[in-house]
Amino acid sequence: MTFHFKRPVYSGDTITCNWMITEIDERGRAKAVVTMHND
């Protein structure tokens, strides 16, 4: 996976990632909503 941040992220920053699975299809593939915060 690749993430692109809208603002600079620097070495030593703490990034909090919240990942919520919203759907799993019959093949076992999942859809999710991901939010990230620079603490």
CA distance linking residue 13 with residue 22, whole number of Å: 28
pLDDT at residue 3, rounded to an integer: 82
What is the domain extent for residue 10? 1-39
CA distance linking residue 14 with residue 10, whole number of Å: 9
pLDDT at residue 2, rounded to an integer: 82
Per-residue pLDDT of the chain (39 residues; tens, 9 = 90+): 788 888 899 999 999 999 999 999 999 999 999 999 998
Contact 19, 10 (CB under 8 A): no
pLDDT at residue 33, rounded to an integer: 94
**What DSSP character marks residue 11?**
T
Domains contained in the chain, number: 1
